[in-house]
Copies of this chain bind each other. A is one copy, B any other.
Amino acid sequence: MKIALDAMGGDHAPEVTVAGAMDAARDFGIGLYLVGKEAMLQEQLARYDTTNLDLTVIPATQEIAMWEHPAEAVRTRPDNSMSVAMRLVKEGRADAFVTCGNTGGALAAALLTLGRLKGIKRPALATPFPHRQGYCLLLDIGANATCKPLYLQQFAIMGSVYAQALLDRPRPRVALVSNGEEAGKGNALVQETFALLEQMPSLYFVGNVEGKEIFAGKADVVVTDGFTGNVLLKTAEAVASMLTDLVKKEAKQRPAAAVGLLLAKPALEAVAARLDYREYGSAVLLGVDGIVMVGHGRSDSLGVRNAIRAAFRAANSNVLKKISNQIKI
């Protein structure tokens, strides 16, 4: 089992990618290809004792920056670290791909190099998403801004298979994001998708959900188009960040409150840990012909290590085969 890591991807690459790869190799016995600028990666590796660790540097002379328009960058710079790493998967030398870099770049490189699974119209980006009881799988969070009902139906199937295979949900409850719980609610896309999902005996479709129900944990797989999913995800992150900052700001003006927050710190940290993407997991691109795991751009070495572990588990789970079987029905 080998994982191809885009060692150049992410806000703190290659320091944290190499460190995270080291940790994953040591902690889980995972073999890794570190793909990127050779001298830089060797320099990072030289800082560690890599005896007995299965780490191989694979040179790639180019890279995709976080801010770039990805599709064009991938096409015009074929020796970028993402595409090179992706090719290792395509050629069967690696079992999965991991990046903490430009998400659009990963999507473009995956489509170009790995291609879609047979029958899949559009791949979707799925992320574990925290709620009161634990977390659900939310997809699509941004691969497809404009969707058709058939795409969403396939997202539901892929999400359900993934949740079953990898998130310990024997019979995942699948829900559709809407502006109201009732069946008639939603825009045209939601209404048409609702009708499709209702008719699928292989899915445990529990209907529409709003924010309240998502965060109450009423579904294991939450399906939506990539535009809405992206807005939902980013709104949730921004509200959490705003609330934290506002409380700190108010506490600053009140010495007793500041002491209070200090005392409450273990409780606040426990909540923060539950909402920490490094703990609850990386996004996965479902529907391409390979395991593609996309960690958070801000990942530290723990985030990289955990993204590698997630890719390792996904590669072990036979999830691509399982998705293909469901799509053929």
Contact = CB atoms under 8 A, between A and B. Distances in A.
A179 B231 contact: yes
B257 A242 contact: no
Contacts of A188: 145-146
Interface in A194-243: 210-212, 214-215, 225-228, 230-232, 234-243
A185, A239, A241, A243: most-surrounded residue (chain B CB, <10 A): A239
Contact of A267 (B69, B146, B250): B250
A230 B243 CA distance: 20
Each complex incorporates copies of this chain amounting to: 2
A315 to B, nearest CB: 29
Nearest to A146: B187
Contacts of A254: 266-267
Given A214-B238, A238-B211, A260 B264 contact: yes
Contact of A239 (B184, B190, B236, B266): B236
B211 A234 contact: yes
Interface in A122-169: 131-132, 142, 145-146
Contacts of A260: 259-265, 267
A69, A131, A142, A210: most-surrounded residue (chain B CB, <10 A): A210
A69, A180, A226, A245: most-surrounded residue (chain B CB, <10 A): A180
Nearest to A268: B247
B264 A226 contact: no
A190, A263, A265: most-surrounded residue (chain B CB, <10 A): A263
Contacts of A226: 179
B234 A231 contact: no
Contacts of A251: 264, 267
Nearest to A213: B238
B131 A242 contact: yes
Contact of A261 (B245, B258, B264): B264
A188, A190, A251: most-surrounded residue (chain B CB, <10 A): A251
A186 interface: yes
Interface string A261-277: 11111111011001000
Nearest to A182: B69
A184 B243 CA distance: 30
B240 A145 contact: no
Contacts of A256: 263-264, 266
Contacts of A240: 239, 243
29 contacts: A145-B185, A177-B231, A178-B227, A210-B231, A210-B238, A211-B231, A211-B234, A211-B235, A211-B239, A212-B237, A212-B238, A215-B238, A215-B241, A215-B242, A227-B228, A228-B228, A231-B232, A232-B232, A232-B235, A235-B235, A236-B236, A251-B267, A257-B266, A258-B264, A259-B263, A260-B260, A260-B262, A260-B267, A261-B267
Interface of A: 69, 131-132, 142, 145-146, 177-180, 184-188, 190, 210-212, 214-215, 225-228, 230-232, 234-243, 245-247, 250-251, 253-254, 256-268, 270-271, 274
